Amino acid sequence: MKNKIRRIFIHNFEVFRILVAIAIAFSVIAVLVLLTSDDAAAVSYWFILGPITSIRRFGGVIELSIPFVLCGLSVAMMFQVNKFNLCSDGIFYVAMAFASIFALNLDLPPVVFPIVIILLCAVVGGLIALIPATLNIKFNASVVVCALMLNYVLQYLGRYILLYKVKDPALTYNGSEIFPDAATLSQFIPKTRIHTGVLVAIAAIIIIYWLLKATKLGFAIRLTGKNESFAKASGINVVATIMISQFIGGALAGIGGAVEVMGIYKQFRIDTLLGYGFDGLLIAVLGKNDPIKVTVAAVALAYLRQGAALVNSYTDIPLELVQVLQGMVVIFVAAEQLMAGLKHRMIVKESESIGGVHHV
C-alpha cells in the first residue's frame, strides 16, 4: 500500500506540489487579511469564489485569458531556444496600432477582414521579434537588453500612430475612429465581452503544441534549446531554427494585440503599454514553456486577477495589498524547490524497494 501511494506521489508530484503551494500561499494570505481587514470572510469569498459568482465575472476571466494565453505562448516559443527575447509587450502594443491602420484603411468583407488583419499583425510581430535576435546573432549583443530597449521604441511608435495617423479629432480623448463592424471580432456570450478571439487562442494552443511535439521543426527547436552545440553537430541549422522560433513568438504577440483591439476595444485608444508581454513572461515560466501548462497558468493568473479586482471593489482591502495577495500565490507556485527534498526521498525509497535493497 505504501509503495502504491509513493508511486502515485512521484508520478503526480507537480500536481501535489502546486496544491501544497496554493495551500501555503492562502495560509499566508489569511494571516495578512486578518491583520488588515475588518471582514476577512468577505475578502476570502471574493478572492476565491468571486470570479465564478456570475456569468459576467467568469466572462472576465475568459476575456483576460485570451491575451494571457497568446503572450504566454509568445514568450514560451522564444524561450524554447534559450533566447530571452522580452519584446512581446512592445509587439502586443504596436500590433494594436497597426491593426487600427488596417481596420480603418482596408475594405474587406466580414469574416475575411479580421482574419487578414490578424495575419498582417502576425507578420509585423514576427519581423519585429527578429530584431533583437539578429543583433544577438550578428553582433553578440545582449538579446535581453535589446528587447527591453525595443519595447520603448515600439511604445512611442504606437503612440505616434495613435496621435498622428488614426486619431479621431472629434473625440475628447486620444482614440481612433471606431472600427467598421466587418473589422471587429463579435462577442457571442450575453452579459460578457467574450469574443471570437477565444477561438484564435484555442487554435494557437493546438498549433503550437503540434508544432513542438509532432514536427521536425519542433524537435529542432527543442533540441537547440537544450543543447545548441549538440544540435549543430546533429546537422540542425541552429541560426535558422532560432530565427524561426523568434518569428513565431513575435507573430503570436502580434496576433494577441490584433485580437485584443478588435475584440475588446473596437478602436485604438491605448497610449501606454498594457504589460501583457511581461505577464506572458510570468506565465511562460510557470508553465515551463509547455503549451498546455502555459494555458493552465494563463487561465489561473486571469482567475487570480479577476478575484483580486473583485476584492478591491467590494472589500476594505487596499489595491496595494490586493497585488500582494495575488503575488503570494504566484511566488509559492513558482517555487520549484518546494517539496523537492521529499520527492528525492520518495524516489530513493522507490528505487530501493524495486531493487530489493535493504539497509542493515
HSE (side-chain half, CA atoms, 13 Å) at 307: 22
End-to-end CA gap in the chain: 23
The CA distance from 169 to 187, in Å, is 28
DSSP calls for 99-163: HHHHHHH----TTHHHHHHHHHHHHHHHHHHHHHHHHHHHH---HHHHHHHHHHHHHHHHHHHHH
Q: What are 112-169's pLDDT values in tens digits?
A: 999 999 999 999 999 999 999 999 999 999 999 999 999 999 999 999 999 999 999 9
Q: CA-CA distances (angstroms) from residue 247 to 91, 132, 134?
A: 12, 11, 11
C-alpha cell at 171: 473625440
Positive or negative, the CA dihedral 175, 180, 184, 190 is: positive
Q: What are the backbone angles phi and psi of residue 84, rounded to the nearest 5°?
A: -85, 70
The CA distance from 331 to 21, in Å, is 9
What's the pTM value of the predicted model, to 2 decimals?
Answer: 0.90
Band of the pLDDT at 200, cuts 50, 70, 90? very high
Q: What are 289-347's pLDDT values in tens digits?
A: 999 999 999 998 899 889 888 988 898 887 777 677 777 777 777 777 777 787 778 78
Positive or negative, the CA dihedral 54, 56, 62, 64 is: negative
